[in-house]
Amino acid sequence: MCGIFGLVSQSKVDRSDLNTLVLHARQRGRDSSGLIYIDHSNYKVERADYDVIKLLSKVKPYNSSIVFGHSRLITNGLADNQPVVRNGICVIHNGIIVNDEEIWQKITPKRQLKIDSEVIAAITEQHLEERADLSTLPNRILSICKGVIACAITIPRIGKTIVFSNNGSLYVGKKGESTYFSSESYPLQRVGCEDINQIKQEGYIVDIPQSDQVIVADESTRKEDLIPEFKYIKAEEGILEYRKPFLKRCTKCILPETMPFISFDDKGVCNYCRNYKLRNVPKPKEELFKLVEPYRRAVGDDCIVPFSGGRDSCYGLHLIVNELKMKPITYTYDWGMVTDLGRRNISRMCSKLGVENIIIAADISKKRRNIRMNLQAWLKSPHLGMMAMLTAGDKHFFRHVETVKKQTGISLNLWGVNPLEVTHFKTGFLDIPPDFEEKRVYSHGITKQLRYHYKRTKAMLESPGYFNRSLWDTLSGEYYRSFTEKKDYYHIFDYWRWDETEVDNTLLGEYEWEKAPDTTTTWRIGDGTAALYNYIYYTVAGFTEHDTFRSNQIREGDITREQALILVECENTPRYQNIRWYLDALGMDFTEVISVVNSIPKLYKR
């Protein structure tokens, strides 16, 4: 989940071209960085736990004939920055190997680092010791590693670098006598490369100067822990409340009396049920086939799939590849609250389907600082209608869809959005009545959005802490989500019926999809924020978004009311592990935050 790049020249590398490759790699992650270059016949590896642009300006490797680099979105092994160096083998890797622990039991070299990428260097080490042909190395690695692998392995002592991938997130191009590579084709086009080729399965070998010397230097300045290690504390878990209040509920669905704007008729049926219109009724699939036909390409990718790593976008990708027979590029916006589990599932899906994954990563430290400031403001004046302030940072997802469209030249977007994920109550707590006619999860209504922002601004005045450095990020994200025109967008579940059993069976069975250890559901497990906000909703109002989702399933005829009640009893159980991860990532005290939440007056009688 990173950006890698490289230049091999007959003389000095082109400074402008190098800067372009670095800048684009940074778009994929900026948590740490590393460079490989030649200095007076010695290979030098410089690694740092800060932005690659800062490292480049410090190292200034412009006199070298080769420069390889890595700009990292940290997923594991916080202290182990790339390039990974092991016995003179240097590896830069984009992706996540999801079975690295299993592999270490099968190979001779012993593990030295926490980072998953080390196993690539270890397999290479054993391959060379066995005097096997270098050209067979990619197949050996890809045959035993699961998850996305797009990497460059540099072996100075034999004067070779080999690059390869299993999902196509790696491109090689030529410019004169120089060879370039990058995680995406766009920067190679920008620097004027010709003969740009996507690298899949087969390795591409580049000759480099030989040397027996690899000098490694590390710089560590970060104080925050971007990957907090989970530590179970029984006393903390005991603070989490899970009361089961007696609430009047709809006799048809399971929505309770604390649901905003709810009313019941003389038969006990709520207005949400009475106004419900079936949503999970797909149009003929033939219509979608006809719609996408003009976008199909004989050569190259032909659609973009916005890809969070959640179950709906994952199953949508499965349908797009296997049923619709499109050739997608997935796009992921990582804003710092995508869980490592979500990232691993992205890696599983993209590697299994051989699909390129374009990542645009925010400044994780900055995004988490923004969330922390908003959560602190919320805790000073708790308001259920203001929970959206904790997820405001993710709305730039919509902005960068347009970035990816521009960089790839692909206009078609195919979304996997669950039609049953409608949560009227989140704005209802801001005193905005439900729009039962809403047909889209992400609606485009200027009047509605202006009303929402007016109500939210009034609520913000109750806690001035909301007026902080994050405000522009929040407002600009909302602008791109709600007010910009969206073209060439289609929803896969408008044409395929969403079936939870089929979705789960497909993902768990065909893709070895990973479930969360602290919940029974597969919904929201890649979202680091969901566990806390659902805990707050349940503690204060006695229900969560699970109740609204299961109620929609009842109305669709997918499950019975009795089944829904059993499901939400499990799904509403506090998720200690996820809540703890979330607060640790923000640098906030678990006990202090949960104590405030527990003290909020309830909307029901105890």
State the CB neighbour count (10 A cutoff) for residue 159.
13
**pLDDT tens track for 448-474:** 777 888 888 888 898 899 999 888 888
Q: Is the pLDDT of residue 20 over 90?
A: yes
Strands (E), 220-307: 303-306
pLDDT for the residue numbered 394: 87
Pairing assessment for the beta strands 303-306 and 328-334 based on DSSP bridges: parallel
Q: Edge-to-edge strands of the sheet including 489-491? A: 357-361, 328-334, 303-306, 413-415, 489-491
Q: Is the pLDDT of residue 444 over 70?
A: no
pLDDT for the residue numbered 524: 93
Residue 312 near residue 500 (C-beta atoms within 8 A): no
What is the spatial distance between Cα 398 and Cα 300, in angstroms, rounded to a whole number?
Answer: 24
Specify the pTM. 0.94
Q: Is the pLDDT of residue 47 over 60?
A: yes
Burial level of 383, CB count in 10 A (0-12/13-18/19+)? middle
H helix runs in 89-132, sequence order: 100-104, 118-129
CATH topology of domain 234-599: Rossmann fold (3.40.50)
CATH topology of domain 2-219: Glutamine Phosphoribosylpyrophosphate, subunit 1, domain 1 (3.60.20)
Greatest pairwise CA separation for the chain in angstroms: 87
Q: Edge-to-edge strands of the sheet including 89-94? A: 84-86, 89-94, 150-155, 160-165, 204-207
Q: Which residues contact 299 (CB under 8 A, 6 or more apart)?
A: none
**pLDDT tens track for 225-243:** 667 777 889 999 999 999 9
Ranges of each domain in the chain: 2-219, 234-599
DSSP 8-state secondary structure symbol assigned to residue 344: H
What are the CA-CA distances from residue 511 to residues 86, 308, 415, 565 (Å)? 31, 16, 20, 30
Burial level of 427, CB count in 10 A (0-12/13-18/19+)? buried
- CA end-to-end span of the chain, whole Å? 47
**pLDDT tens track for 585-598:** 999 999 999 999 99
How much is the mean pLDDT over the chain?
Answer: 93
**pLDDT tens track for 85-115:** 999 999 999 999 999 999 999 999 999 999 9
- Residue 107's nearest CA partner among 92, 123, 96 is 123
3-class DSSP state for residue 540? helix
Q: Is the pLDDT of residue 78 over 70?
A: no
Q: Is the pLDDT of residue 441 over 60?
A: no
What is the spatial distance between Cα 137 and Cα 124, in angstroms, rounded to a whole number?
Answer: 7
Summarize the confidence of residues 297-315 as an average pLDDT.
95
Q: Which residues contact 6 (CB under 8 A, 6 or more apart)?
A: 21, 66, 67, 68, 69, 92, 152, 161, 163, 179, 180, 181, 182
What is the spatial distance between Cα 553 and Cα 173, in angstroms, rounded to a whole number?
Answer: 50
> Phi/psi at 323 (nearest 5 deg)?
-105, -50
Summarize the confidence of residues 484-512 as an average pLDDT.
94
